Amino acid sequence: TRRSCMSAKCKKILQIRFILIQNRAGKTRLAKWYMQFDDDEKQKLIEEVHAVVTVRDAKHTNFVEFRNFKIIYRRYAGLYFCICVDVTDNNLAYLEGIHNFVEVLNEYFHNVCELDLVFNFYKVYTVVDEMFLAGEIRETSQTKVLKQLLMLQSLE
Amino acid sequence: MPAVSKGDGMRGLAVFISDIRNCKSKEAEIKRINKELANIRSKFKGDKALDGYSKKKYVCKLLFIFLLGHDIDFGHMEAVNLLSSNKYTEKQIGYLFISVLVNSNSELIRLINNAIKNDLSSRNPTFMCLALHCIANVGSREMAEAFASEIPRILVAGDTMDSVKQSAALCLLRLYKTSPDLVLMGEWTSRVVHLLNDQHMGVVTAAISLITCLSQKNPDEFKTCVSLAVSRLSRIVSSASTDLQDYTYYFVPAPWLSCKLLRLLQCYPPPEDGAVKGRLVECLETILNKAQEPPKSKKVQHSNAKNAILFEAISLIIHYDSEPNLLVRACNQLGQFLQHRETNLRYLALESMCTLASSEFSHEAVKTHIETVINALKTERDVSVRQRAADLLYAMCDRSNAKQIVAEMLSYLETADYSIREEMVLKVAILAEKYAVDYSWYVDTILNLIRIAGDYVSEEVWYRVIQIVINRDDVQGYAAKTVFEALQAPACHENMVKVGGYILGEFGNLIAGDPRSSPLVQFNLLHSKFHLCSVPTRALLLSAYIKFINLFPETKATIQEVLRCDSQIRNSDVELQQRAVEYLKLSSIASTDVLATVLEEMPPFPERESSILAKLKKKKGPGAVSVTELEDNKREGGELNGGGDRGPDTAAMAASNASTPSPSADLLGIRSAAPVGAPPASTGSLLVDVFSEAGPAAPSAAVNDDGFLSSAPPSEDPAPPLSEADELLNKFVCKNNGVLFENQLLQIGIKSEYRQNLGRMYLFYGNKTSVQFASFTTTVSCPGDLQSHILFVPLCSETKPSNRITQWKAITSSLSP
């Protein structure tokens, strides 16, 4: 159809490129990469993302163009949760994807704070992998995710 | 209080992390880290085999140190060892370490793959997931080689647990993306599609991502997913909020799954099956209806989830572009969002409406929001929102609102972010050209562009305005006047000087009558900017000066004075020096006729596609936005063709050649508007009355009243290059009459007759210029032997005034057979 050329979505494989949790000072609390970057590139990206999101305030949208991608982000207390996705991806879906993830963390760590993410960094990866995998959303039910996490927690 | 469970306390790790956090300086931190590294190294090398718990703890510490930003060059072996533990916590740390610190040592890879293989066949869902996640996170070629055939089996096996299926689906997706050649389609593909019907929504969520990717590369193989997706979507959208309890998010049923289903459907054209299509349309209508219902919750999460589905549905509606009712409804819904108090929604509405603007069904509906969009352009505080508003104005622009939109974009440009100025300039230039009915408006717009954003006006833009002014007689005087006025501004942009210099050089005569813009005034105005300009501009100005000498002989002395001075003829730049010297000489030795010929008015430019459009596409990349231009052009093309069927071919071609200019070269209508007062002359028209066998097909159209030379502008009747002259000669092998030679000044024709050994040849010389030839002589040279057989008789040696055949000379010759 005439329109089929319009859907850039059809032409490209859309996916999450990376997920970052950073504090205001720029310290990274979680970095999950879904495409290949070498260590230098990762460092550069982390710095750029930090620079881009920390200058924004309430009058801005939660979406920001970033290189050939875009970042959907939200600030929770002192932490910025950023998901980098493709330009034609669904902004609101990922904005709530972030929120869903934060609510799970909150439940799992009982009113999560930044320190929880520091001391339990290796567990945060487990939470991430339950909800996101291979650059896609894997599971969205908070009930199911928490059930699984509690089960894993009981294992030796 | 950090959450720690009984199983994996790892107190040592917590202490270490505390120590690091308590370090007062970077040096202290490094010292503490090095101390720990030494400790771990010794533990790893120690005689005593470490127990699982300790190994886990130390590997985890190493990981922490690495994540702080320090290089780790050991620990991989120990991490790999952890993989073979039968304790979850130990395995987990082992897998985490090797996923984050990927190592390419082949021995390690072999061991890792072994461990993964064991876990995959362990029938322990927890272990299987750990292994699958590792493959999904690392996705190396070696892993793909080892497991690409295994994963599909796990995915579709009847006894695989739900959570394992979820992980297997996405793991397979990763392998397919990185090593598509290793993932072979097979029996499993049809079963994968049926995962869309799985009762576990998480499995569906994961499977859908896999299916979406696979169907893009193998659309036919997976096309059965369309009807399944529609059913699923339909069930979700019409479900009560109590149905999907685990998957209801703030009163919205399965929002992410709904979005994914809608996205999958965008990979295919509208369903052919009427029932399926009907169901889908119903779905979309329900989604649109829900947007109008009062919200079930005041929380922003509720509205975001609902609107995520709505925007994806609108995307699908736009993709199909076949349901006018839905398109208009979508447009109206977006129109409401344009004034929503949430910036996110205003932004997304503007963005989405942009694509709606190019659909014929919704274009008019989009236009109704022009005032709101203009207001957004002026008042939005987030620059990205303003930018979407500008994009939308561009997309909704058509003949009815072009003037208004261009004016708004120009005023926006005055305060726009520097990063977007160049794109804005290109867009304004494109719109001004495309929708100009009155070309003086076009000229004003471009000159305004130069005035407001001169630095961002690329060459393509000002070349184009020159081309258009040259090609349109009716706007030349206006252009000269406007540019003259613009140049009087105290600080005018160099691009303005370029355009001004060129236009005054060509058309300054059109305003020279007014004493305020007399020739000397024009010259002084241009020259006052000379020293401020870069070399290319000065070169252009020098050319303008010599044109002035031709146009206004009274300025010759003044200008020659300027050319003569050292700063010109001894200028260190070679180009400037050469021009100054040559122009000076030309002005001194050339007669007025020659000067006039050399500096004749620029002929109209041949029709070509707008390079501005090509530049904009290159800038934006062959992505979604540039397609708006393609759509514009297609629509324009459609209008020209009476709005008929555009056809998929143009679309496909346009899409695949996103960087090539529009196929509709007649965009400007320049050809139809060009001065065609004189129809093009055809080659033989000149001497048509001489040849009784008439010349080419359209002599009557080409020839003017007295039957002789038509006054076609030279460019439309170009001189044949040398190769063509040979061709002209060759035709005399079988013809007795015709044109032997032609250039811009002269046309030579032959007429000959032969009878047995006698031949008679007449040569005719036509003067194509408007001046009389002086001292015109002809010589005919004959090779060798022929001389004796030929008698030359000049029949007439008068020269007659221009535009007529001035003289003709007949030669009679007698040839022996």
Alpha-carbon distances, residue B150 vs B121, B143, B166, B168, B194 (angstroms)? 10, 11, 15, 10, 19
pLDDT value for A47: 97
**Is the pLDDT score of B315 beyond 70?**
yes
B548 lies within 8 A of chain A by CB: no
**Which H or E run includes B465?**
helix B459-471
Q: CA A127, CA A115: separation in Å to the nearest integer?
A: 16
B223 lies within 8 A of chain A by CB: no
| Average pLDDT of the segment spanning B580-591 | 89
> Among B256, B631, B646, whose Cβ lies nearest the Cβ of A140?
B256
Distance from CA of B61 to the nearest CA of A (A): 10
Q: CA B343, CA B38: separation in Å to the nearest integer?
A: 53
- List chain B residues with CB under 8 Å of A42: none
B167 lies within 8 A of chain A by CB: yes
Alpha helices in chain A (DSSP H): 8-11, 39-54, 91-108, 114-119, 121-131, 142-153
Distance from CA of B611 to the nearest CA of A (A): 22
> Among B89, B266, B301, whose Cβ lies nearest the Cβ of A10?
B266
> Among A63, A109, A134, whose Cβ lies nearest the Cβ of B171?
A134
**Is the pLDDT score of B732 beyond 80?**
no
B308 lies within 8 A of chain A by CB: yes
| B contact test, residue of A1, A7, A36 with most B CBs within 10 A | A7
pLDDT value for B773: 65
Distance from CA of B14 to the nearest CA of A (A): 6
Q: CA B360, CA B328: separation in Å to the nearest integer?
A: 11
Contact A13 B631 (CB under 8 A): no
**Is the pLDDT score of B226 beyond 60?**
yes
Query: Which residues 690-729 of B are in CB contact (within 8 Å) with A?
Result: none
**Is the pLDDT score of B320 beyond 90?**
yes
> Comparing C-alpha atoms, which of A155, A76, A145 is closest to residue A117?
A76
Closest chain B residue by Cα to residue A108: B3
pLDDT value for B491: 86
Closest chain A residue by Cα to residue B341: A59
Closest chain B residue by Cα to residue A146: B246
Q: CA B549, CA B76: separation in Å to the nearest integer?
A: 83
User: Is A11 domain-assigned?
Assistant: no
Query: Which residues 104-133 of B are in CB contact (within 8 Å) with A?
Result: 126, 133
> Comparing C-alpha atoms, which of B183, B180, B124, B123 is closest to residue B150?
B183
Burial B537-567 (b: 16+ CB within 10 A, else e): bbbbbbbbbbbbbbbbeebbebbbebbeeee
Q: Which pairing describes strands A136-137 and B737-742: parallel, antiparallel, or unpaired?
A: unpaired
> Among B137, B623, B648, whose Cβ lies nearest the Cβ of A1?
B648
**Is the pLDDT score of B793 beyond 90?**
no
Q: Are B5 and A110 in contact (CB under 8 A)?
A: no
Q: CA B470, CA B713: separation in Å to the nearest integer?
A: 14
Contact A120 B249 (CB under 8 A): no
Please report where in the chains the tokens 């163009």 appear, as a residue.
A65
Query: Which residues 370-409 of B are in CB contact (within 8 Å) with A?
Result: 381-382, 384-385
The number of angstroms, rounded, from the C-alpha of B764 to the middle of its chain's C-alpha atoms is 55
Tens digits of residue pLDDT in B235-293: 999 987 667 889 999 999 999 999 999 999 999 999 999 999 999 999 999 999 999 99
Tens digits of residue pLDDT in B327-343: 999 999 999 999 999 99
Cβ neighbours for B282, distance < 8 A, ≥ 6 positions apart = B234
| Residue-by-residue DSSP string for B739-781 | EEEE-SSEEEEEEEEEETTEEEEEEEEEE-SSS---S------
**Is the pLDDT score of A149 beyond 60?**
yes
Read off the DSSP letter of residue B455.
G
- List chain A residues with CB under 8 Å of B646: 2
Contact A61 B89 (CB under 8 A): no
Three-state secondary structure string covering B124-167: CHHHHHHHHHHHHHHCCHHHHHHHCCHHHHHHHCCCCCHHHHHH
pLDDT value for B568: 85
| Average pLDDT of the segment spanning B345-367 | 94
Q: Is B62 helix (H, G, I), strand (E, B) or coil?
A: helix
Q: Are B249 and B295 in contact (CB under 8 A)?
A: no
| Average pLDDT of the segment spanning B791-800 | 51
| A contact test, residue of B85, B212, B251, B259 with most A CBs within 10 A | B259
Domain hosting residue A50, numbered range: 16-155
Q: Is B435 helix (H, G, I), strand (E, B) or coil?
A: coil
User: Is A102 domain-assigned?
Assistant: yes
pLDDT value for B269: 95
- List chain B residues with CB under 8 Å of A137: 205, 209, 256, 260
| B contact test, residue of A5, A35, A87, A89 with most B CBs within 10 A | A5
Its pTM stands at: 0.76
Residue of B283 and B753 predicted with greater confidence: B283
> Comparing C-alpha atoms, which of A56, A58, A57, A47 is closest to residue A25?
A47
**Is the pLDDT score of B448 beyond 70?**
yes
Q: Which of A106-115, B690-699, B713-722 shows the highest mean pLDDT?
A: A106-115
> Comparing C-alpha atoms, which of B237, B251, B329, B315 is closest to residue B283?
B237
Alpha-carbon distances, residue B73 vs B26, B37, B41, B103 (angstroms)? 21, 10, 11, 10
Q: CA A36, CA B372: separation in Å to the nearest integer?
A: 43
Q: Are A7 and B266 in contact (CB under 8 A)?
A: yes
B222 lies within 8 A of chain A by CB: no
Q: Two tokens at B188? A: 């499993």
> Among B3, B88, B163, whose Cβ lies nearest the Cβ of A120?
B3
**Is the pLDDT score of B403 beyond 60?**
yes
Q: CA A150, CA A108: separation in Å to the nearest integer?
A: 8
**Is the pLDDT score of B611 beyond 50?**
yes
Tens digits of residue pLDDT in B492-503: 899 999 999 999
Q: Is B198 helix (H, G, I), strand (E, B) or coil?
A: coil
B70 phi and psi angles, rounded to 5 deg: -105, 145
User: Is A88 domain-assigned?
Assistant: yes
Query: Structurally, how many domains does chain A consist of?
Result: 1
User: Is A4 domain-assigned?
Assistant: no
User: Positive or negative, the Cα torsion across B17, B23, B26, B32?
Assistant: negative
| Average pLDDT of the segment spanning B758-776 | 69
Tens digits of residue pLDDT in B516-555: 999 999 999 999 999 999 999 999 999 999 999 999 989 8
pLDDT value for B733: 64
Closest chain A residue by Cα to residue B59: A122
The number of angstroms, rounded, from the C-alpha of B478 to the middle of its chain's C-alpha atoms is 33
| Average pLDDT of the segment spanning B373-384 | 93
Contact A144 B246 (CB under 8 A): yes
User: Is A26 domain-assigned?
Assistant: yes
**Is the pLDDT score of A129 beyond 80?**
yes
User: Is A21 domain-assigned?
Assistant: yes
| A contact test, residue of B344, B383, B656 with most A CBs within 10 A | B344
User: Is A5 domain-assigned?
Assistant: no
Q: Two tokens at A13? A: 């494989």
In this prediction, residue B792 has a pLDDT band, given cuts at 50, 70 and 90, of low
Number of CB pairs < 8 Å for A and B? 207
Residue of B508 and B760 predicted with greater confidence: B508
Alpha-carbon distances, residue B120 vs A134, B130, B335 (angstroms)? 18, 9, 52
| Average pLDDT of the segment spanning A114-136 | 97
Question: For residue B274, with 0-12 CB atoms within 10 Å meaning exposed, 13-18 middle and 19 or more buried, which class applies?
Answer: exposed
Distance from CA of A8 to the nearest CA of B (A): 6
- List chain B residues with CB under 8 Å of A1: 269-270, 320-322, 648, 651
**Is the pLDDT score of B744 beyond 50?**
yes
pLDDT value for B522: 93
Closest chain B residue by Cα to residue A27: B68
Q: CA B224, CA B194: separation in Å to the nearest integer?
A: 9
Which amino acid would we find at residue B382? D
Closest chain A residue by Cα to residue B53: A156
B322 lies within 8 A of chain A by CB: yes
pLDDT value for B789: 60
Tens digits of residue pLDDT in B61-110: 999 999 999 999 999 999 999 999 999 999 999 999 999 998 888 899 99
Poorest-pLDDT segment among B15-19, B32-36, B568-572, B809-813: B809-813
| A contact test, residue of B56, B263, B300 with most A CBs within 10 A | B263
Closest chain A residue by Cα to residue B651: A2
**Is the pLDDT score of B719 beyond 50?**
no
Distance from CA of B643 to the nearest CA of A (A): 14
Poorest-pLDDT segment among B3-12, B454-463, B468-477: B3-12
> Among A2, A10, A134, whose Cβ lies nearest the Cβ of B216?
A10
Q: Which of B50-59, B602-611, B762-771 shows the highest mean pLDDT?
A: B50-59
Contact B254 A126 (CB under 8 A): no
**Is the pLDDT score of B690 beyond 70?**
no
Q: What percent of chain B has pLDDT over 90?
A: 58
Contact A5 B136 (CB under 8 A): no
Closest chain A residue by Cα to residue B3: A109
pLDDT value for B758: 67
Q: CA A55, CA B419: separation in Å to the nearest integer?
A: 17
- List chain B residues with CB under 8 Å of A126: 92
**Is the pLDDT score of B801 beyond 70?**
no
In sequence order, the β-bridge partners of residue B809 are B763
Poorest-pLDDT segment among A28-37, B53-62, B122-131, B419-428: B419-428
**Is the pLDDT score of A108 beyond 70?**
yes
Query: Which residues 186-205 of B are in CB contact (within 8 Å) with A?
Result: 201-202, 205
User: Is A52 domain-assigned?
Assistant: yes
- List chain B residues with CB under 8 Å of A10: 216, 266-267
**Which H or E run includes B737?**
strand B737-742
Contact B3 A10 (CB under 8 A): no
Q: CA B580, CA B365: separation in Å to the nearest integer?
A: 59
Tens digits of residue pLDDT in B19-45: 999 999 999 999 999 999 999 999 999
Known binding residues of B are 11-12, 43, 53, 57-61
> Comparing C-alpha atoms, which of B405, B476, B408, B413 is closest to residue B434?
B405
Which amino acid would we find at residue B457? V
CATH number for the domain spanning A131: value is 3.30.450.60
* Whole-number average pLDDT of chain B: 81
